[in-house]
Structures are given as C-alpha cells and as structure tokens.
C-alpha cells in the first residue's frame, strides 16, 4: 500500500492506511485534529480506529501545545519484551501449570498486590530512583493524593482489557516473554483530571470537539499537566519493569538455567519533545510507537496471531513512528454479540489461555489482520523477529 496524503484540512493527513477503509468517525476525528491551529502535522498509522477524543493510531505534532486526549487515558501504556536462552522444545508439556504460576505472581484485571512489591526483592531489578519517584507523588494534582496506597498496590500488576502477559516463541524456537500494560488507575485518573481542566480553558470553548481541548505552552496548566504526565509515563515504565522482574523470577524457579537478554521496551500512549522541519514540537503518540532509525519496538496482533519485534527506519513523514499493534476492527460490544466461546476456542487453538465468555471481546477476530498492518508500514519499520503465542494471560 502506498503512502497517502489527504488534503482539505489545515494540515494534510499523512496516512499509512487507505482512507476509504477507515471508519467515518475516525476520519472525522482526524480532520478535526488536523484543523487545530496549534498542529504542525498529523500522521495516521495502519491500525487506526476511532477512540475517545483523539483517534487511536494517530501521531500529532503540536507547536507549544498538547491535547491530553491525544495521549489517551492510559498514560504511558506500552510494551516490554525479553528474549530468553530457552528453546520452546525445553518448555514443560504442561503449560497450564506454568500459566497458573505466572498468574499467581502478577495480578490481573482488578486485582492488585496485597502489599506493595519491594523492587529490591525482585531479582535483577534496578532500585535506583524508586524512593525519589514515590516522593514526587505528593507533587501531583491534589485530585489524586488519596490514591497513593492503591497506586503502590497496583505497581507491578497487569490490568484488564487488551493488556496481556505472554510466553512466545520466535521462528527459530527461542522463547520470549512479552507484556502489555500501562499506568493503571492512577494514570487514568490523572488523565481525566487534566482533560477536564483543559475543557474549561477559554481558548478551547469554540472547538468542534471539546475532547480535543489543548494546553498551551508557558501556562500553569501546561506545566501541571506535563509534570503529572511524565510521572505517569514513568509509573508505566516501572510497572512493566517490575512485572517483567516478577515473571522472570517465576521462570527461574521452574525453568532451570534460563537466562534473559536485555529488555526491549516502548510506550505507545505518550508525549515526547522532538524536532521536525526545524521546529521544536510536542509529539503525542496514541496507539503508536517511536520508530526512529534503529529504535527497537514491539507490534502485537491479538492473543493468538503473533507479535513482531521491529527496528525503526526513521521516516520523518511519519514523525518517526509506526503502529502499536493490529488495532481493533470491531468494538468490544460488537465482538461479544458476534462471537461465541466455541469461536474463541477455535481461534486460540494451540495457545494456553482463557477460553471463556470473559475474554470474548479480545478474540482474534475482533482485530485487524496483523500481516496487512505490517505490510502497510514497510517504509516505517523492518522486522527483527516474529513471535507466536504459547501462553497468553488476559485480565
């Protein structure tokens, strides 16, 4: 598929998706964003779909402005992957037992740790900066100050929805651990607080979509948002690191002699300060990863359709970005109405995972075809490894 530019807005939409295949609601969201006066450019990823406020699969560069809805409510949501020294042939026959041990170590869904996990007691965890990180909690928006105890208990937990923990094997048989999670409830509450503040600002009153309200540079509201945003992004990064440490400890206990490479980690709901066309901009990636030249990234499909480890090609038209996954092609509600448990069993055949009504909304059939998404962004990333799921844990 060729790169497309769609005109008719203040800035043309740079698209790695065929415009006619994008649902009308998402296209309207993209046009609304591209017409904002603060926007420097908009890039659209091949997994694009309608989202709250801003479109999932959109990369928005703004000059001295940022829209909190263009980041999303799960601030810092992203992926971490680690290659192991084990081959799939060395794994035990009973993967259900191993899955159970992993679920005991990492709370999923609405569950959390009974007491905060001490990073110093997790093998190989870096403990530098943790005390300072938690001291900064008191500097966050007063609206979340009562949430510290819960935030501490949720550190190192998976959450629900499309978040997952997987044991995979690449095409050469090497075992990988892959996980997807974000800043848990504290990130969501910070995002919702600041979206509410932005909606009330005078310069946002005439917007076509109030969910696209922005903060302007050099204002107290922008400073407060960026302080809380960067803290939440750090929370998400630490959350994934702690989970990966817990998972690796489980594997060390049950898989003798296993070793682990350095982790690959990337946010896909976040803000970064970058420079394009000689202009300093704030880039929001909502459902997109950074894919600068040589950047390693992770692009998953669904719970049975594989995951790609990729290396960025540094395409400036895409603001050095790529898709964050396959992307949904139907809502959770529609998926529950469309598919049955039998469908789920058939579509996840060979994968050790839940096969019950509680995860039908995550069935592979609810997602776009991962191979088509990858083919559409050949000028954005190159494939390093292709993984297939052996164990998939959902909240």
- The residues annotated with a catalytic role in the active site are 324
Alpha helices in 257-368 (DSSP H): 332-338, 341-347
Q: 278 and 41 in contact (C-beta within 8 Å)? A: no
N-to-C CA span, the chain: 35
Residue 84's beta-bridge partner residues? 260
CA distances from 25 to 205, 208, 330 (A): 22, 14, 13
Tallying the residues shown for the chain, one arrives at 395
Q: Is 64 in contact with 217 (CB distance < 8 Å)?
A: yes
Quote the crossing angle between the two packed helices 184-199 and 220-254, to the nearest 10°.
160
Structural Rg of the chain based on CA atoms: 20
Please answer whether residues 292 and 303 qualify as being in contact, where contact means their C-beta atoms are separated by less than 8 angstroms.
no
Structure tokens at 157: 């937990």
How far, CA to CA in Å, does 205 sit from each of 34, 54, 201, 223, 298? 17, 17, 7, 21, 38
Cα separation, 210 vs 207, in Å, equals 6
Q: What is the largest CA-CA distance in the chain?
A: 62
Rounded Cα distance, 384 and 16, in Å? 21
Separation of alpha carbons 45 and 68, rounded Å: 19
Question: How far is the C-alpha of 288 from the C-alpha of 310, rounded, in Å?
Answer: 13
- Is the distance from CB of 324 to CB of 289 less than 8 angstroms? yes
The Cα–Cα gap between 124 and 136 comes to 24
Torsion of CA 327, 332, 334, 337, to 10 degrees: 130
CA-to-CA dists, residue 239 to 99, 187, 305, 314, angstroms: 20, 11, 25, 28
The closest of 46, 40, 80 to 297, measured between CA atoms, is 80
């Amino acid at each position: 598929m060729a790169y497309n530019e769609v005109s008719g807005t203040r800035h043309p939409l740079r698209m790695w998706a065929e415009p006619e295949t994008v649902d009308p609601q998402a296209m309207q969201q993209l046009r609304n964003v591209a017409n904002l006066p603060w926007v420097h450019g908009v890039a659209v990823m091949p997994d694009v779909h309608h989202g709250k406020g801003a479109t999932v699969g959109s990369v928005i560069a703004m000059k001295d402005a940022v829209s909190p809805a263009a980041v999303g409510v799960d601030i810092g949501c992203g992926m971490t992957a680690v290659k192991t020294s084990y081959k799939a042939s060395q794994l035990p026959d009973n993967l259900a037992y191993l899955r159970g041990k992993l679920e005991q170590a990492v709370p999923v869904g609405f569950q959390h740790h009974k007491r905060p996990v001490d990073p110093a007691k997790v093998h190989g965890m870096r403990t530098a900066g943790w005390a300072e990180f938690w001291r900064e909690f008191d500097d966050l928006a007063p609206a979340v100050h009562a949430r510290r105890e819960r935030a501490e208990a949720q550190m190192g937990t998976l959450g629900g929805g499309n978040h997952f923990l997987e044991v995979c094997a690449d095409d050469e048989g090497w075992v990988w651990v892959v996980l997807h999670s974000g800043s848990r409830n504290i990130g969501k509450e910070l995002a919702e607080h600041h979206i509410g503040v932005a909606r009330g600002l005078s310069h946002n009153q005439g917007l076509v979509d109030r969910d696209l309200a922005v903060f302007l540079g050099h204002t107290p509201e922008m400073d407060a948002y960026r302080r809380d945003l960067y803290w939440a992004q750090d929370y998400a990064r630490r959350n994934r690191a702690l989970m990966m440490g817990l998972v690796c400890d489980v594997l060390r206990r049950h898989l003798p002699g296993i070793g682990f490479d350095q982790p690959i980690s990337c946010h896909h709901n976040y803000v970064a300060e970058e420079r394009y066309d000689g202009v300093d901009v704030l880039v929001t990636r909502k459902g997109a990863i950074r894919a600068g030249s040589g950047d390693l990234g992770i692009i998953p499909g669904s719970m049975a359709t594989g995951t790609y480890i990729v290396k960025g090609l540094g395409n400036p038209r895409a603001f050095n970005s790529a898709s964050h996954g396959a992307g949904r092609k139907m809502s959770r509600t529609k998926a529950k109405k469309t598919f049955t448990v039998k469908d789920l069993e058939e579509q996840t055949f060979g994968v050790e995972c839940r096969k019950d009504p509680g995860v039908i909304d995550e069935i592979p059939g609810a997602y776009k075809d991962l191979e088509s998404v990858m083919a559409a962004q050949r000028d954005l990333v190159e494939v390093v490894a292709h993984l297939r799921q052996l164990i998939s844990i959902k909240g």
